[in-house]
């Protein structure tokens, strides 16, 4: 599964999860281990390249409309 880190869209009044800014992506082989890690990371800081972000616990599972795209798990972070 493809996992993407997105920064909240601060221009959106609906909570910021629509049209988040793409920061990084990777493919995860062990889904259970990754979800356990996400639960433990809530409120923790993470570093993507040279920038620091906080993971607040929001994630979104995206299913494509057709089979030409991969399902993704988007995790949302706050920049500071």
Of all residues in the chain, the percent with pLDDT exceeding 90 is 46
**28 contacts 1 by C-beta, under 8 angstroms:** yes
- CA dist 23 and 32 (Å) reads 23
Beta-carbon contacts of residue 41 (< 8 Å; ≥ 6 apart): 55
Q: What is the pLDDT of residues 60-72, one digit of tens each?
A: 988 888 777 788 8
- With beta carbons less than 8 A apart as the criterion, state whether 73 and 4 touch: yes
Domain ranges of the chain: 2-79
pLDDT value of residue 63: 85
pTM: 0.82
Q: How far is CA 71 from CA 28, 51, 63, 80, in A?
A: 12, 26, 5, 29
């Amino acid at each position: 599964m493809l996992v993407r880190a997105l920064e909240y869209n601060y221009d959106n009044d609906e909570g910021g999860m629509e049209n988040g800014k793409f920061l990084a992506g990777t493919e995860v082989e062990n889904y259970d281990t990754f979800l356990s890690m996400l639960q433990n990371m809530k409120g923790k800081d993470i570093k993507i390249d040279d920038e620091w972000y906080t993971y607040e616990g929001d994630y979104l599972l995206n299913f494509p409309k057709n089979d030409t795209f991969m399902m993704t798990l988007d995790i949302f972070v706050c920049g500071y």
